[in-house]
Amino acid sequence: MKISTLIILILSAFTLFLMTCEKKEIDNRTKYFPKTELKPDNIPDKENIWVFVLAGQSNMAGRAQVEPNDTIPNERIFSINKYDDLIIAKEPLHFYEPTMTGLDCGLSFGKEIINQIPDSISILLIPAAIGGSSISQWMNDSTFRNVTLYSNFKEKLQIGKKYGSIKGILWHQGESDAATTETIQVYDNQLKELFTLFRKETDDLSLPIFIGELGSYSKNDENWQAINKKIKEYTETDPNAYLINTADLNDNGDRVHFDSEGQRKMGIRFAEKFMMTKE
């Protein structure tokens, strides 16, 4: 056998091996994704649906492993699909980045909320987070990963208003802005500007906004903690902004994204903080 032929065969075998490994990784990521989509038989009256928008970047969009308990539906928790149809919520909620999307904190948040509110109230979770997006891209309505960020937020907000009352925004973002000293320095001011815009869109200048800290597991921890400091400083100036602590939560192995347990705990913490605003 010629050496050139042998090299081609080796390269072909190696390529096939890599493709097989990639397929197994994809299969594992989507192993427990729901196979069916449920639409509600009856949609509650508008006054009985509380709407929450999930916005930010990848840790809000979700990168954790979806497990069977994450796809158990509850008839009082709704979301939307990529066609903007109302559906019964199952993880993963986000659909913008199908090759990366995983478990987010939304359904965990919804399940915790309905345990603490009247049976007559349902929850609608609106997914609007795009992985890798910076806060300046949100403010400038940039198109990122085929989504025009602020315009998409407004469109999804209108869907929420159609079905119910906007009760809050869940925000997790900042990893992209931790990249440079310059973006860190202005982060709190940018939060103020962006959240002012968000509130104007909801017609509620006192709308509660819940902000998750970045994780404490990054290779770039000093910068991530600098962003967390800016988030904390901002919440101290805004009486309707609330900090969600994440220091004890773990990553999924990549030192960037929360693991499944972390996402569920974060959802519960968002819910607990929201319920504090109702007291």
| Six-digit token string for 107 | 């359904």
Is the pLDDT at 3 greater than 80? The verdict is no
Instruction: List beta partners, residue 242.
Output: 210
Band the pLDDT of 18: cuts 50, 70, 90: very low
Q: Is the pTM of this model over 0.85?
A: yes
Segment 76-92 shows an average pLDDT of 98
How does residue 278 score in pLDDT terms, banded at 50, 70 and 90? confident
Element of type H or E holding 172: strand 165-172
- The answer to whether residue 4 scores a pLDDT higher than 80 is no
Q: What pLDDT, on the 0 to 100 scale, is given for residue 61?
A: 98
Q: What per-residue confidence (pLDDT) applies to 10?
A: 56
Q: Tell me the per-residue pLDDT of 105-115, one tens digit each, with 9 for 90 and over.
A: 999 999 999 99
Single out the residue of 229, 239, 242 nearest to residue 271, CA to CA. 242
For residue 6, what pLDDT band results from cuts at 50, 70 and 90? Answer: low
pLDDT at 5: 58
What is the SS3 assignment for 221? helix
What pLDDT, on the 0 to 100 scale, is given for residue 21?
42
Residue 241: pLDDT over 70: yes
* pLDDT surpassing 90 at residue 279: no
Query: Counting runs of H as helices and runs of E as strands, what totals does the chain give?
Result: 9, 9
Among 194, 202, 176, which residue's Cα sits nearest to residue 256? Answer: 176
d(CA 75, CA 213): 30
DSSP string spanning 244-263?
A: E--TTPPBSSSSSSB-HHHH
* pLDDT cut 70: percent of the chain above it: 91
**pLDDT tens-place string over residues 188-205:** 999 999 999 999 999 999
Strand pairing partners for 148? 143
CA–CA dist 251, 83 (Å, integer): 31
Instruction: Give the DSSP letter of residue 62.
Output: -
> How high is the pLDDT of residue 23?
45
The CATH-assigned architecture of domain 32-277 is: 3-Layer(aba) Sandwich (3.40)
Task: For residue 93, give the DSSP letter.
Answer: -
- Residue tagged 């968002």 (tokens): 270
Report residue 75 as tokens: 């008839």
Q: Would you say residue 24 has pLDDT above 60?
A: no
Tell me what pLDDT residue 19 has.
44
Give the tens place of pLDDT for each residue, 91-103: 999 999 999 999 9
Do the strands 143-144 and 147-148 form a parallel or antiparallel pair, or are they unpaired? antiparallel
245-256 mean pLDDT: 97
Backbone CA torsion sign across 230, 233, 141, 77: positive
Please determine, for residue 152, whether its predicted confidence score (pLDDT) is greater than 50: yes
Q: Are 80 and 87 in contact (CB under 8 A)?
A: yes
Is residue 8 over pLDDT 60?
A: no
Interval 25-52 mean pLDDT: 91
* pLDDT at residue 34 is higher than 60: yes
* pLDDT value at 20 more than 80: no
Mean pLDDT, range 133-149, rounded to an integer = 98
For the chain, domain boundaries = 32-277
> 141 phi and psi, to 5 degrees?
55, 45
Average pLDDT, the chain: 93
